[in-house]
Structure 1
């Protein structure tokens, strides 16, 4: 038999507990550091998104807001209403509309687990968003959206490119809950060389 005294056993137990407590404390510190890191990364992403949205707001307000102005926020009473007959209830949209980049729309679909029904995969940047997922997004957000800054590859060849990113277009679609897209617009190319190059790339 090993000659180990009770005091030695108690000492080993105490050292074991102390070591376990030390390791647990280190683990908690690491977890807290990782949590703080994730929190800071999340805050940074939000700031970058806000900054990107702010730049988009400044850049695309003249385009998107001009389209927005074409949409009525009130209407004259219909002849049916004037005659006393029942008429469809109309709730005018509130302005200003939500400004949303195409890239943010792609991220929204991923965050809400909306996939391409044909492929079973998430939509990626550069893919056209079909009507159904676009309407699901609009209905969920539940406010009119000025959906803008689409990739040039999925838009008409004559649309003006974003001067800050040549892969994007100065274009906008207006999305309304319960309806979907009601109108769209874009700046057109005015530079002859740019338009000629676009003709060439599209085989026209």
Structure 2
């Protein structure tokens, strides 16, 4: 009976050990998965860091591009406003009888549709212009921040250079005094 109890105890201890090994293997698998996830996250963060770096380096270019595009939009808006004014003038003349036309009402209706289309274009362009102006102002604020940091660094460098020059002058003065003392002793 004792050997049977010993066998049962051995089987139980082996079973417990196998269970613990299984748990450890599962924990190892979770850890590897977690580590893989962290590695992927690190790669993503490095990619984001590179993208942010590129964005920071190109803010001046974007500001210039926005200003050029803004100029084009303003020009297009003024062209649209010109067409809008033209169609409004034609409608005014048609209604006043200054222009005679057989299809007066149809022409007025077409012009009203055109006026609405050009007004919509003008509104869209104005919204885009406002958006671009916001982007330019943001880029300008960023530029001003970088300029102020640069100027602060320049002033620190200038202060350090002044201190260096003052110390050089002091060294030259002390060397001259030393030479004078040596000459006085001789």
TM-score using structure 1 length? 0.36
Higher gyration radius (CA): 2
Relative contact order higher in (CA < 8 Å, ≥ 6 apart): 2
More strand by share: 1
More helix by share: 2
TM-score using structure 2 length? 0.39
